[in-house]
A and B are shown apart, each in its own frame.
Chain A
Amino acid sequence: MVAKTIAGKTVEVNEEGFMTNPNEWTEEIAVEIAKEEGIPELTAEHWKIINFCRQSAGTSGKAPTLRQITVGTGVSTKELFTLFPKGPAKKVARIAGLGKPEGCV
């Protein structure tokens, strides 16, 4: 684990770049990580997904899987893959300040 400064705040991240303490996460950090992931601007639709992931992880302690996201938010698979192109599974979790999703579906 290493300390990394994102959006002016020092947070702990693991070797894959996932934040290890969800409580250190802020919306500014999400915006910054999204840019790193090639998403220049977070729209309301992006936030709907990010907020769902935060809530879901708050209850279960784990980042939700892509299917849990589509079922939970009503956002379609197509939209999800358009909003977070080229690998939404890790991208969404990283931006939401969570660990890698653990489920397979």
Chain B
Amino acid sequence: MSDERKIAFICSKGSLDMALPALVMGWAALGNGIDVTIFFTFWGMDIINKNRVDHLEIAPVANTSMKMSMMGVPGNLGIPNIVGILPGMTAFATKLMKDKMKALEVPPVREYLQMLVDAGAKLYACKMSVDMMGLTKEDFVDGVIDIVTAGDFIDMTEGAQIIFI
């Protein structure tokens, strides 16, 4: 519980499974009195995008870690990619993961983000990604402080431990 310890997360991915690490670890850090900054870049901006945050997904295609065991089938049986490409499979895998999260009392991403903001986490969006994707601050959920450059991020995270996701 050091007064000086700071952690900064860089979220670069927008799938549901890649949204969670920064939320879980950031929340744990805040609970332990550590300063938390999160920088959302490229696909990671989906996590703070008002129109996307409730619709983050996980695709079974080319996901070698997603096995039938997630559905209670014992062993190491995979989900063939050719099955994964069928319409509805991404939605199915997403629902499966969301149900599992709910069973563990993990809040949905939007609510989780709000918890972090309420606990003092500072959220920023990446300027270059925002410009590239034609977004503005209005596209982001409340709690995103500003759109900043990579240089700003480096300045504001002096002395912080940086975790790239």
**Chain A residues packing against B (C-beta within 8 Å):** 66-68, 70, 76-78, 81, 85-90, 104-105
Q: A86 to B120, alpha carbons, bound, how many Å? A: 10
A71 closest partner in B (C-beta): B105
Complex contact A77–B119 (CB within 8 A): yes
Counting contact residues on chain B (CB < 8 A from A), the size range is 10 to 19
Q: A70 to B112, alpha carbons, bound, how many Å? A: 13
0/1 interface trace, chain B 1-36, chain A, CB 8 Å (1 if under): 101000000000000000000001001101111100
Complex contact B119–A81 (CB within 8 A): yes
How many Å from the CB of A18 to the closest CB on chain B? 13
With known contacts A66-B31, A81-B120, A86–B115 Cβ distance under 8 A: no
Question: Which of the listed residues B3, B28, B31 has the most CB atoms from chain A within 10 Å of its own CB?
Answer: B31
Q: A40 to B18, alpha carbons, bound, how many Å? A: 41
CB-defined contacts of A90 to chain B, threshold 8 Å: 1, 31-32
Q: A104 to B34, alpha carbons, bound, how many Å? A: 15
Complex contact A105–B107 (CB within 8 A): yes
CB-defined contacts of A76 to chain B, threshold 8 Å: 118
CB-defined contacts of A86 to chain B, threshold 8 Å: 1, 3, 33
B28 closest partner in A (C-beta): A104
CB-defined contacts of B3 to chain A, threshold 8 Å: 86
Tell me the residues in window 93-117 of chain B with beta carbons closer than 8 Å to chain A beta carbons: 104-107, 114-115
Contact of B107 among A67, A78, A81 (CB under 8 A): A67
B1 closest partner in A (C-beta): A87
How many Å from the CB of A51 to the closest CB on chain B? 20
CB-defined contacts of B24 to chain A, threshold 8 Å: 104-105
CB-defined contacts of A66 to chain B, threshold 8 Å: 27, 31
Contact of A81 among B1, B30, B105 (CB under 8 A): B30
How many Å from the CB of A7 to the closest CB on chain B? 22
CB-defined contacts of A67 to chain B, threshold 8 Å: 105, 107, 115
CB-defined contacts of A68 to chain B, threshold 8 Å: 105
